[in-house]
A and B are shown apart, each in its own frame.
Chain A
Amino acid sequence: MIDSYLRQSALDHLGLAGRTSEEPEKAAVRLGEKLLPAAVNLRGDVADPAFVAALREALGVEPPSAPNTVATNGEVALLWLGPDEWLALQHGAAPEAEAQMAAKLRDALGDLHAATTEVGEQYVCIHLAGPKAREVIEKGCPLDLHPRAFGGVGHCAQSHLSKATILLHQVSPGEDGEPAFDLYTRRSFADYLWRWLEDAAGEYGVAIVAP
């Protein structure tokens, strides 16, 4: 493995850090990028207690078996992607966190029939929050995001937003009228999706923030 290399967001060229709003609380939608998440894709058999124990040992959190749910210990979140597939995510971690997380998982999993793949650099995480955040996503996504159907915090879903594949994670329930979502997309879609979101949120008033 190389010791160091340039890690650059796929939205770097938009210069978002220089466009952050002075008064984000006045906007109905706040948009920002959560830079360079550490992400490891995990495959394994959730019915095997040894697999669950290995994840608990390596990450401090067990894989959720209920579809489209998230388990978290506050630091690492495990998002359900399929009946035998999860995404382990960590934000704000050091650049080497992802390789360390994967190494710990491989140690803990040993000879089990399981797979770990470092995928952080394929994802861009766009954070959307505010009273109209849900309406913006609803403009281009077929998911029913009404609180009755999309169960608030701890709920995730894979779908598409204006034809781009997304993984949506609700990180704040919005009972205070301020729902918040982390939206993951592949880096080649990131520029398109950011521009689409900024345009779609325009009518409500949009502020760029550093989440």
Chain B
Amino acid sequence: MLQITCPHCGARAESEFHNGGEAHIERPKDPAALTDAEWAEFVFLRDNPKGLLLERWNHTQGCRRWFNVARDTVTYEILAVYPMGSQPPALDPRRYV
């Protein structure tokens, strides 16, 4: 099990959290102008890197707040925790292949 540091509550067990998928996916400003392919990209398609991934987590069984996590998908190491609405810190992308 991961130990995740909630920005408010501190280090807690993964079972208290809910993963909210990839972070920084922006909702299209003009949805009517999108092609089907662009919609599919926005709704369904996500990166699946072997290395650094930026993702959203919610402390569902704790303070119920959202935050961003930068995580290495190979080592499971959590490299940074940063607030919603802010950009990630500069990090090594850690691509293994």
Residues of A within 8 A of B (CB): 67-68, 81-83, 85, 142-143, 157-160, 165
Contact = CB atoms under 8 A, between A and B. Distances in A.
A142 B15 contact: yes
B63 A81 contact: yes
Given A67-B9, A82-B8, A83-B8, A157 B62 contact: yes
A173 to B, nearest CB: 20
B16 A142 contact: yes
B20 to A, nearest CB: 17
Given A67-B63, A81-B63, A160 B15 contact: yes
Contact of B12 (A82, A85, A159, A165): A159
B61 A159 contact: yes
Interface size range of chain B in the complex: 10 to 19
Contacts of B63: 67, 81-83, 85, 158
B18 interface: no
Shortest beta-carbon contacts, A-B, top 4: A142-B13, A82-B63, A67-B8, A160-B61
30 contacts: A67-B9, A67-B10, A67-B63, A68-B9, A68-B10, A81-B63, A81-B64, A82-B8, A82-B63, A82-B64, A82-B65, A83-B63, A85-B63, A142-B1, A142-B12, A142-B13, A142-B15, A142-B16, A157-B9, A158-B9, A158-B61, A158-B63, A159-B12, A159-B16, A159-B61, A159-B62, A160-B15, A160-B16, A160-B61, A165-B61
Contacts of B65: 82-83
Interface of A is mostly: strand
A128 B91 CA distance: 46
Interface in B9-45: 9-10, 12-13, 15-16
Contacts of B9: 67-68, 157-158
B81 to A, nearest CB: 14
Contacts of A158: 9, 61-63
Contacts of A82: 8, 63-65
A16 B15 CA distance: 32
